[in-house]
């Protein structure tokens, strides 16, 4: 077993002990709004519907598995490397099939899925290995859609690059974040086409409930502003496997 996998398994146990969705900041009032918007974008760009066969990698406790199913009705196989987190997901979302799996060595056959998606998972993985596997299991014409942390966001840059802060905030040792230009280049090198990576999300999870609407409105304006948009908290990654 590699050190990276060992680290991620240990990380999963710590997440469960501390309350995964609280640690991920999805359970605050602003966090819930962020989660719904993220789920909307992932579903929208996936183009999935009830006829689609979908693979989720890094599903954790199944939060986005359930949201994706609610929005698309697609058949979802959701995977994670942590058995502890999967046990939680299975209890909460019986409409989804959950499978223990390593995203860098996916056990499914080539050309199986219409969509591969995930939320905040690629930045835990070896990019080249995971992208090779995603490309392999996608059907020709299929697409990948991921939401990931943006390395150009000042908070995320500090969190991912200063070791004692990274440890203090509970990150796993190997995780990083996405620089959209270099990641676009990597996707194209791996054979993906129609690559679109865009920054979004200026709503911080600690924003109090009474300010959410105002901050969200301002944030959506900033998302359309050249240069300023580049420091958004997240990026959406969309790419296709050519037919």
The predicted structure's pLDDT at residue 170: 85
| 3-state DSSP assignment of residue 97 | strand
pLDDT mean across residues, the chain = 95
Q: What is the pLDDT of residues 182-203, one digit of tens each?
A: 999 999 999 999 999 999 999 9
Q: Report d(CA 162, CA 166) in Å as an integer.
A: 6
Residues 6+ apart with CB under 8 A from 140: 111, 241, 242, 243
Q: What is the pLDDT of residues 147-195, one digit of tens each?
A: 999 999 999 999 999 999 998 888 988 999 999 999 999 999 999 999 9
Strands (E), 5-74: 53-57
Instruction: Give the closest residue to 65 by CA, choosing from 31, 99, 33, 34.
Output: 99
Q: Specify the CATH number of the domain 3-241.
A: 3.40.50.150
Q: Report d(CA 226, CA 218) in Å as an integer.
A: 14
Tokens 């905030």 locate to 169
Model confidence band, residue 9 (pLDDT cutoffs 50, 70, 90) = confident
- The reported pTM is 0.96
Q: What is the pLDDT of residues 83-134, one digit of tens each?
A: 999 999 999 999 999 999 999 999 999 999 999 999 999 999 999 999 999 9
Q: Report d(CA 218, CA 221) in Å as an integer.
A: 5
The β-bridge partners of 97 are 77
| First-to-final CA distance of the chain | 35
Q: In what order do the strands lie in the sheet with 113-119?
A: 97-100, 75-80, 53-57, 113-119, 138-149, 234-241, 192-200
The predicted structure's pLDDT at residue 1: 63
Residues in the chain: 243
Q: Is 168 exposed, middle or buried (0-12, 13-18, 19+ CB in 10 A)?
A: exposed
Q: State both tokens at 31.
A: 């966090």
**DSSP letter (8 states) at residue 95:** T
The predicted structure's pLDDT at residue 2: 83
The β-bridge partners of 57 are 79
Q: Is 93 exposed, middle or buried (0-12, 13-18, 19+ CB in 10 A)?
A: buried
Is the predicted pLDDT of residue 47 greater than 90, yes or no?
yes
Q: Report d(CA 62, CA 78) in Å as an integer.
A: 8
């Amino acid at each position: 077993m590699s050190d990276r996998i060992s680290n991620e398994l240990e990380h999963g146990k710590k997440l469960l002990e501390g309350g995964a969705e609280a640690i991920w900041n999805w359970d605050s009032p602003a966090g819930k709004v962020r989660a719904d918007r993220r789920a909307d974008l992932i579903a929208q760009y996936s183009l999935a519907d009830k006829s689609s066969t979908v693979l989720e990698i890094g599903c954790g406790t199944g939060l986005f598995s359930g949201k994706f199913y609610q929005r698309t009705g697609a058949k979802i196989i959701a995977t994670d490397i942590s058995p502890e987190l999967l046990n939680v997901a299975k209890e909460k979302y019986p409409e989804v099939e959950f499978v223990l799996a390593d995203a860098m060595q996916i056990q499914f056959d080539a050309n199986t899925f219409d969509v591969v998606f995930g939320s905040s998972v690629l930045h835990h993985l070896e990019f080249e290995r995971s992208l090779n596997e995603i490309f392999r299991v996608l059907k020709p014409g299929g697409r990948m859609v991921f939401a990931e942390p943006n390395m150009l966001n000042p908070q995320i840059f500090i969190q991912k690059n200063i070791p004692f802060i990274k440890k203090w905030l509970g990150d796993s040792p190997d995780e990083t974040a996405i620089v959209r230009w270099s990641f676009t280049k990597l996707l194209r090198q791996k054979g993906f086409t129609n690559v679109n990576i865009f920054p979004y999300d200026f709503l911080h999870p600690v924003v109090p409930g009474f300010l959410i609407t105002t901050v969200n409105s301002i944030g959506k304006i900033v998302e359309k502003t050249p240069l300023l948009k580049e420091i958004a908290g997240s990026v959406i990654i969309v790419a296709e496997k050519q037919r």
